[in-house]
């Protein structure tokens, strides 16, 4: 019999209870023993829920009970999650978490403490919700050097961009819809500014490099500047806009970025719509492999958490020795990364503006869109980000150009 304790009876916590109940027989067969939820820690009471029998408001009940083998942290945030998780590991209990903020901020330290105490710190649900990605990187793709990870790692923004495209809507209209549906928070910054995706790619990049990639070092741009006019041109080009989280690993150089990108229809990531997530990973032997599924939501996320519970129970007293070290991974400046950009400009004289684009970027291939007056769009040549930005500054000062309405990186 393995006793577990769940910290937090919110969406994911109640999902964990539901998954354990619904698939009890199968899960216990995989864990090779019965699993008992001995405690659920929450500030609230749940008088009409059978869970009330195991509710505690005092974390020490869990910490000081030597029969609790696995602590499941599904509270979110770093305070008090960090203190709770650290003390559980120090007491010789394995921890499973869905908390990307905790893993991105303290992952290497918590994995070291787990190792010192011969237990495990597992976090499958922290990236991609229900999509298995952490364990495949750690346990399956061990024969390869990972060259690239590109993911749609935030369901809320993917839902918003898909809706803007499908229904020809502006950003603000889809934001209120996403808030009404409960995808985006009242303060939507974590999703729409790219912070959530940034933490997730920091975790994946740390796994790939086996060093700590700090999320503070990752260039991060959200989707707030994307308009339905941008999407109209990009659809006409045969593409869509996605918030991509990318990390590339080449010759010891690593860079990472979160930003909206134009994804052409031949790229499999273009087919990932609504709240779905996907991660495209390139191994130096394996080539491309893509993971696709529900990146958020109660049961998909809980399913990933429960898979970690089974893993922890099966590896009692065996540290799996996976993860990354506390050594910092330096990142290459984003200014030196090669890019092409889709650019929309407003002009006062079309022929002059076309000549300006030709002079600065060497292209006279422009796109126009019915109904959008005094503007056109084009795709730049490929150059380092800093050089493209210099050229855009040069373009703004050209006689035929009034302003740059938007610029979005092209993927691939
Ligand atoms: N806000 C996140 C998303 C939840 O939209 O993907 C899952 O981490």
User: In angstroms, what is the span from residue 277 Cα to ligand 1's centroid?
Assistant: 9
User: In angstroms, what is the span from residue 151 Cα to ligand 1's centroid?
Assistant: 13
User: In angstroms, what is the span from residue 191 Cα to ligand 1's centroid?
Assistant: 7
Digit-coded pLDDT (tens) for 241-259: 999 999 999 988 999 999 9
Contacts of 106 (CB under 8 A, 6+ apart): 78, 82, 85, 86
55-56 vs 2-7, strand pairing mode: unpaired
Task: Assign domain 335-410 to a CATH class.
Answer: alpha beta
Burial of 398: CB neighbours in 10 Å, binned 0-12, 13-18, 19+: middle
Residues 327-348, mean pLDDT to the nearest whole number: 97
- Segments making up each domain of the chain, as ranges: 2-130+299-314, 134-294, 335-410
pLDDT for 371 equals 81
Cβ 296 under 6 angstroms from ligand 1: yes
CA distances from 27 to 21, 35, 79, 126 (A): 9, 9, 31, 21
3 state DSSP class of 383: strand
Could you tell me if 264 and 239 are in contact, meaning their C-beta atoms sit under 8 angstroms apart? yes
Q: Which two tokens stand for residue 119?
A: 């237990």
User: In angstroms, what is the span from residue 370 Cα to ligand 1's centroid?
Assistant: 36
pLDDT for 91 equals 98
User: Residue 369 — pLDDT band, cuts 50, 70, 90?
Assistant: confident
Please report where in the chains the tokens 């920091």 appear, as a residue: 202
CA angle 370, 375, 378 (to 5 degrees): 95
User: Residue 322 — pLDDT band, cuts 50, 70, 90?
Assistant: confident
pLDDT for 15 equals 97
Q: Percentage of residues in the chain with pLDDT exceeding 90?
A: 96
Q: How far apart are CA 86 and CA 64, in angstroms?
A: 14
Among 74, 127, 129, which residue has the most ligand 1 atoms within 8 Å of its CB, making it the best to mutate?
Answer: 129
Cβ 129 under 6 angstroms from ligand 1: yes
Cβ 293 under 6 angstroms from ligand 1: no
Residues 326-333, mean pLDDT to the nearest whole number: 97
Cβ 156 under 6 angstroms from ligand 1: yes
pLDDT for 372 equals 87
Q: Hey, which CATH number is domain 2-130+299-314, 3.30.230.10, 3.40.50.720, 3.30.565.10, 3.30.70.1560?
A: 3.40.50.720
Digit-coded pLDDT (tens) for 176-209: 999 999 898 899 999 999 999 999 999 999 999 9
Q: Would the pTM of this model clear 0.85, i.e. be above it?
A: yes
Question: Has domain 134-294 been given CATH number 2.60.200.20?
Answer: no
Would residue 200 show up in a list of annotated catalytic residues for this protein?
yes
Q: How far apart are CA 199 and CA 205, in angstroms?
A: 10
Q: How far apart are CA 32 and CA 256, in angstroms?
A: 40
CA angle 357, 362, 363 (to 5 degrees): 65
- Is there a common fold for 2-130+299-314 and 134-294? no
Alpha-carbon Rg of the chain, whole angstroms?
Answer: 24
Buried b (16+ CB within 10 A) or exposed e, 337-359: bebbbbbbbebeeeeebbebbee
Residue tagged active-site, from 200, 242, 341, 354: 200
Could you tell me if 175 and 188 are in contact, meaning their C-beta atoms sit under 8 angstroms apart? yes
pLDDT for 86 equals 98
Digit-coded pLDDT (tens) for 27-69: 999 999 999 999 999 999 999 999 999 999 999 999 999 999 9
Helical (H) or strand (E) element with 312: helix 298-314
pLDDT for 178 equals 94
Cβ 151 under 6 angstroms from ligand 1: no
Cβ 191 under 6 angstroms from ligand 1: yes
| Ligand 1 atom nearest to CA at 153 | 6
Q: How far apart are CA 306 and CA 300, in angstroms?
A: 10
Could you tell me if 101 and 128 are in contact, meaning their C-beta atoms sit under 8 angstroms apart? no
pLDDT for 316 equals 96
Residue 220 has pLDDT above 90, yes or no: yes
List residues bridging with 410 in a β-sheet.
Answer: 262
Cβ 300 under 6 angstroms from ligand 1: no
Cβ 407 under 6 angstroms from ligand 1: no
Residues 301-311, mean pLDDT to the nearest whole number: 98
Residues 65-92, mean pLDDT to the nearest whole number: 98
User: In angstroms, what is the span from residue 96 Cα to ligand 1's centroid?
Assistant: 18
pLDDT for 49 equals 97
Among 77, 126, 128, 156, which residue has the most ligand 1 atoms within 8 Å of its CB, making it the best to mutate?
Answer: 156
Residue 412 has pLDDT above 90, yes or no: no
| Residue with CA closest to ligand 1 atom 8 | 296
């Amino acid at each position: 019999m393995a006793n577990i304790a769940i910290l937090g009876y919110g969406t994911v916590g109640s999902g964990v209870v539901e998954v354990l109940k619904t698939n009890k027989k199968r899960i216990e067969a995989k864990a090779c023993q019965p699993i008992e939820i001995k405690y659920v820690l929450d500030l609230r009471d749940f008088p009409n829920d059978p869970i009330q029998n195991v509710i505690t408001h005092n974390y020490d009940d869990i910490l000081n009970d030597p029969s609790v083998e696995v602590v499941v942290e599904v509270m979110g945030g770093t305070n008090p999650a960090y203190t709770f998780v650290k003390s559980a590991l120090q007491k010789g209990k394995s921890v499973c978490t869905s908390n990307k903020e905790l893993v991105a901020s303290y992952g290497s330290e918590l994995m070291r403490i787990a190792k010192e105490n011969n237990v495990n710190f597992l976090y499958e649900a922290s990236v991609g919700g229900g999509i298995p990605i952490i364990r495949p990187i750690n346990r399956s793709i061990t024969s390869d050097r990972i060259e690239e990870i590109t993911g749609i790692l935030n369901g809320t923004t993917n839902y918003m961009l898909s809706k803007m495209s499908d229904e020809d809507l502006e950003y603000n209209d889809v934001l209120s819809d996403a808030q009404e549906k409960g995808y985006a928070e009242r303060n939507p910054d974590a999703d729409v500014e790219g912070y959530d995706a940034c933490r997730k790619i920091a975790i994946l990049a740390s796994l790939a490099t086996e060093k700590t990639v700090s999320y503070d070092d990752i260039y991060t741009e959200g989707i707030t500047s994307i308009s339905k006019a941008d999407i109209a041109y990009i659809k006409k080009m045969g593409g869509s806009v996605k918030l991509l989280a990318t990390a590339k690993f080449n010759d010891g150089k690593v860079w990472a970025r979160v930003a909206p990108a134009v994804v052409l229809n031949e790229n499999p990531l273009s087919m990932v719509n609504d709240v779905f997530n996907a991660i495209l990973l390139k191994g130096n032997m394996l080539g491309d492999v893509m993971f696709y599924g529900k990146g958020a939501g109660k049961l998909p996320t809980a399913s990933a958490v429960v898979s970690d519970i089974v893993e922890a129970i099966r590896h009692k007293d065996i540290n799996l020795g996976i993860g990354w070290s506390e050594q910092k991974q330096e990142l290459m400046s984003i200014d030196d990364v090669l890019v092409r950009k889709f650019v929309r400009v407003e002009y006062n004289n079309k022929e002059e503006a076309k000549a300006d684009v030709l002079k600065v970027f060497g292209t006279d291939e422009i796109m126009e869109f019915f109904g959008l007056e005094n503007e056109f769009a084009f795709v730049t040549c490929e150059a380092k980000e800093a050089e493209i930005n210099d050229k855009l500054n040069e373009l703004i000062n050209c006689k035929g150009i009034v302003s740059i309405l938007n610029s979005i990186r092209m993927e691939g």
